[in-house]
């Protein structure tokens, strides 16, 4: 069972814990208690072996294709945290009848994972404390410490620990061994190479052994078997004595950016030796200080609430958004599962721009810029995809990995269990709203930051190349331009025409490109000339302008409903009660195939509601209410992206009670009690959704056009929300309560903010209350 209230004093609402051992649900805590720093992430798996254990270590950007007809994915790198323990000649592992007082705790504030329990054998009892962390101070380093106390009598303990290169992605092996050896009889070292992308990976591991805090000078017995290298220690432990095994590990790759590069990775064990001299607790303290500086002091969101789960939930979300984000390298982005598991193969989707990017734009724009630079680096692959499909401009991939690779969505995903036929994946071909989603990310970043250098170097080119794509993708009929045969955000409706979200975003994208073109023509014609020489935008800009005016966009009918697409409202209705009440998502798939679902009036997730989330100021509340009421009745929320979108909109239109209920459901997508909600990895974008519920929804922070608005609407359970944000390069400290808003400008320039519908200029180093 997941427990939320273990933290006290400085750790209140920072501890996520499990209070009993359950071998059948290991995957959940492996995912939600993963540890990382954006460079790498290690699942929170047990040191000891279990059949269902998934010991995954992922390093951002190390994509590889394991075999022919496979797609690129992040390879599972060597397992270095596992260790085998023999106690009095028997293998140590936990079962229902040999463990008491079990606790597994992830401290979100420190990043440390701790397991404590009493372990019983026929003749003895042992107290275990197993702790570890992945360093925020040095992204290559991870350390564990296993403390064992023999409670009743002396014991013999054998430790077999090192590096296991047998790691696979569900059976697919990506790594070729090059070197396995010990340095100085103490440092296990392996050099591996990904078989297709030819990325070198260097892994080191070494140990320190203590008895009652005294370090032993031991030379381990070296052990090697196929694809493993280990050190063996034989220890005699007196009753009441504490033996501690500290394990220091490091990972490096030839793909590392200059910021984190090691000049001599083959000699990286020497760096590890320096870390070992510092020690576990001191290295942990260094990591905690950096984590505080980069996250908890800079971006902390404080919620004063009658329900503590809100604070724990946003702390958990912020921790994971730090762990999963490769802020050190613009060649990398955020995967749909972060770095917590193999799900979605580490690929990047529209999740980043629509759900995760806003958190960084508002609170850490330097990281947001790198995430957008990744899309710029992907223009080559996007142009190639457009050309291969007979279009112009940039057709960004539905799934992205290495940015230059273009589309990496699998063509097939699984097989029909009865026919053996492969199940075709069509999202990479027709879920094209991703193109405008990328453009929207640029637009939002520009409005919040006014980063002209970014726009000049990257942003304008993305905006205009995406507009060129839409210009070529339109189809003319009946005096209007249409976008046919697509999948909108609601992925239960396939091969639809004139999806409202897609058409609106395409129209906006083209209009934004025209405005940007005019701005450059007036303010920087030299830059425009260089851009035109590169992408020939001048030859098509008038066509883009003319067609944008004539794109078909659905308008509210007499009942104020906007058609999600051409056919949705005429689809067959069925009783959705059992699917809406089901604990597991996608339960409808047990009764219907995808082709059948597409013919039913049922939604996987928010569709038009996402349109309202991005451009809600364009519609009156009466229209938003009508559409909320209509579409939510058919929505199963089978996507983790859905609940937060509906929660923000519910709060906006005055459904505060329901909005708060949806927020809590969104908050518990992964950390709720369902045992298998995230076995293959966490739902990364849902954490951005939780952030949006709090900052966009309850605190009321929105960029409307080119103006920042703050108009709080706190639920009954919340008294105050406090957070830092950045606007036009200035740091703002916001305290939003039910009655008042205080905004302090900590920057060097005045900024104008619309607070509670009144525009107020806030001088540098001054605060206003409204």
pLDDT digit string (tens) for 244-295?
Answer: 999 999 999 999 999 999 989 889 999 999 999 999 999 999 999 999 999 9
Q: Could you read off the pLDDT of 306-323 as tens digits, one per residue?
A: 999 999 999 999 999 999
Length of the chain: 770
**576-582 average pLDDT score:** 93
Catalytic residue among 491, 661, 674, 680: 491
**pLDDT score at 100:** 97
Contact residues for 352 (Cβ-Cβ < 8 A; gap 6+): 333, 334, 371, 441, 685
pLDDT beyond 90 at 425: yes
The span from the CA of 230 to the CA of 205, in Å, is 9
Q: Could you read off the pLDDT of 500-542 as tens digits, one per residue?
A: 999 999 999 999 999 999 999 999 999 999 999 999 999 999 9
Q: Could you read off the pLDDT of 337-356 as tens digits, one per residue?
A: 999 999 999 999 999 999 99
Q: Please, which residues bridge with residue 246 across strands? A: 145, 208
**pLDDT score at 436:** 98
Confidence at 627, pLDDT banded by 50, 70, 90: very high
The span from the CA of 40 to the CA of 334, in Å, is 12
**pLDDT score at 418:** 72
pLDDT beyond 90 at 181: yes
**464-493 average pLDDT score:** 98
pLDDT beyond 80 at 729: yes
Q: Could you read off the pLDDT of 690-713 as tens digits, one per residue?
A: 999 999 999 999 999 889 999 999
Contact residues for 338 (Cβ-Cβ < 8 A; gap 6+): 34, 41, 320, 323, 324, 681, 682, 684
Q: What's the DSSP call for residue 75? A: P
Query: What rounded mean pLDDT belongs to the chain?
Result: 96
pTM: 0.97
pLDDT beyond 80 at 16: yes
Residue whose C-alpha is closest to residue 333's, from 381, 365, 373, 379: 373
Confidence at 752, pLDDT banded by 50, 70, 90: very high
| Residue 517 · residue 465 · CB < 8 Å | no
Give the three-state DSSP class for 496.
strand
Q: Could you read off the pLDDT of 32-76 as tens digits, one per residue?
A: 999 999 999 999 999 999 999 999 999 999 999 999 989 999 999
pLDDT beyond 90 at 552: yes
Q: Could you read off the pLDDT of 533-544 as tens digits, one per residue?
A: 999 999 999 999
**pLDDT score at 245:** 98
- Catalytic (active site) residue 491: yes
- DSSP symbols for 10-29: GGTT-EEEE-S--GGGHHHH
Q: Could you read off the pLDDT of 398-424 as tens digits, one per residue?
A: 999 999 999 999 998 877 767 778 888
| Residue 404 · residue 379 · CB < 8 Å | no
| Residue 655 · residue 619 · CB < 8 Å | no
**pLDDT score at 318:** 98
% pLDDT > 70, the chain: 100
């Amino acid at each position: 069972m997941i427990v939320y209230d273990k933290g006290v004093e400085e750790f209140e609402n920072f501890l996520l814990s499990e209070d009993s051992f359950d071998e059948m649900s290991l995957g959940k805590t492996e995912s939600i208690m993963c540890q990382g720093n954006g460079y790498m992430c290690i699942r929170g798996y047990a040191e000891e072996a279990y059949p269902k254990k998934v010991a995954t270590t992922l390093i951002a950007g190390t994509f590889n294709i394991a075999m022919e007809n496979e797609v690129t994915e992040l390879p599972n790198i060597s397992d270095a945290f596992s260790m085998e323990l023999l106690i009095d000649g028997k293998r140590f592992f936990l079962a229902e009848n040999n463990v008491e007082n079990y606790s597994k705790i992830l401290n979100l504030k420190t990043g440390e994972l701790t397991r404590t329990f009493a372990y019983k054998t026929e003749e003895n009892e042992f107290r275990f404390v197993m702790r570890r962390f992945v360093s925020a101070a040095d992204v290559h380093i991870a350390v564990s410490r296993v403390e064992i106390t023999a409670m009743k009598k002396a014991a013999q303990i054998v430790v077999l620990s090192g590096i296991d290169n047998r790691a696979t992605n569900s059976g697919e092996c990506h790594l070729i061994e090059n070197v396995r050896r010990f340095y100085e009889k103490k440092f296990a070292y392996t050099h591996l190479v990904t078989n297709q992308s030819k990325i070198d990976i260097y892994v080191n591991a070494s140990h320190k052994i203590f008895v009652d805090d005294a370090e032993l000078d031991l030379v381990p017995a070296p052990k090697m078997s196929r694809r493993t290298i280990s050190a063996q220690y034989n220890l005699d432990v007196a009753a009441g004595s504490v033996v501690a095994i500290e394990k220091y590990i490091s990972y490096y790759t030839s793909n590392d950016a200059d910021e984190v590069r090691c000049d001599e990775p083959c000699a990286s064990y020497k760096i590890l030796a320096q870390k070992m001299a510092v020690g576990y607790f001191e290295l942990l303290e260094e990591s905690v200080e950096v984590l505080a500086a980069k996250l908890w002091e800079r971006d902390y969101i404080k919620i004063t609430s009658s329900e503590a789960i809100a604070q724990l939930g946003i702390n958990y979300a912020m921790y994971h958004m730090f762990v999963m984000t490769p802020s050190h390298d613009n060649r990398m982005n955020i995967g749909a599962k972060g770095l917590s598991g193999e799900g979605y193969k580490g690929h990047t989707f529209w999740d980043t721009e629509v759900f995760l990017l806003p958190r960084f734009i508002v609170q850490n724009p330097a990281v947001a810029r790198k995430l957008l630079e990744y899309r710029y680096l992907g223009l080559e692959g996007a142009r190639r995809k457009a050309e291969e499909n007979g279009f112009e401009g940039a057709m960004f991939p539905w799934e992205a990995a290495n940015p230059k690779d273009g589309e990496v969505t699998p063509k097939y995903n699984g097989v029909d269990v009865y026919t053996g036929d492969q199940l075709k994946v069509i999202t990479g071909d027709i879920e094209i709203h991703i193109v405008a989603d990328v453009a929207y990310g640029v637009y939002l970043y520009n409005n919040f930051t006014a980063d002209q250098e970014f726009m000049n170097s990257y942003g304008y080119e993305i905006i205009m190349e995406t507009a060129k794509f839409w210009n070529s993708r339109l189809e003319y009929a009946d005096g209007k331009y249409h976008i046919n045969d697509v999948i909108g955000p609601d992925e239960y409706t396939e091969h639809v025409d004139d999806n409202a979200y897609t058409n609106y975003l395409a129209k906006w994208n083209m209009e934004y490109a025209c405005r940007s073109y005019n701005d450059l023509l007036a303010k920087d014609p030299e830059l425009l000339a260089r851009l035109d020489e590169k992408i020939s935008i001048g030859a098509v800009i008038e066509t883009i302008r003319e067609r944008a005016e004539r794109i078909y966009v659905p308008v509210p009918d007499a009942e104020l409903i906007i058609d999600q697409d051409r056919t949705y409202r005429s689809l067959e209705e069925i009783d959705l009660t059992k699917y809406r009440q089901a604990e597991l998502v996608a339960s409808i798939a047990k009764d219907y195939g995808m082709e059948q679902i597409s013919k039913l009036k049922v939604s996987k997730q928010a569709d038009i509601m996402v349109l309202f989330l991005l451009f809600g100021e364009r519609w009156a509340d009466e229209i938003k209410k009508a559409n909320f009421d209509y579409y939510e009745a058919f929505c199963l929320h089978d996507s983790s992206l859905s609940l937060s979108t509906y929660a923000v909109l519910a709060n906006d239109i005055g459904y505060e009670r329901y909005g708060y209920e949806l927020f809590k459901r969104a908050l518990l997508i992964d950390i709720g009690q369902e045992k298998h909600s995230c076995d293959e990895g966490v739902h990364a974008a849902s954490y951005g959704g939780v952030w949006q519920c709090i900052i966009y929804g309850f605190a009321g922070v929105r960029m409307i056009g080119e103006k920042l608005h703050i108009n709080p609407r706190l639920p009954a359970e919340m008294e105050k929300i406090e957070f830092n944000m950045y606007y036009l390069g200035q740091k703002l400290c916001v305290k939003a309560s039910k009655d008042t808003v205080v905004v302090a400008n900590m920057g060097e320039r005045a900024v104008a903010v619309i607070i509670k519908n009144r525009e107020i200029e806030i001088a540098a180093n001054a605060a206003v209350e409204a």
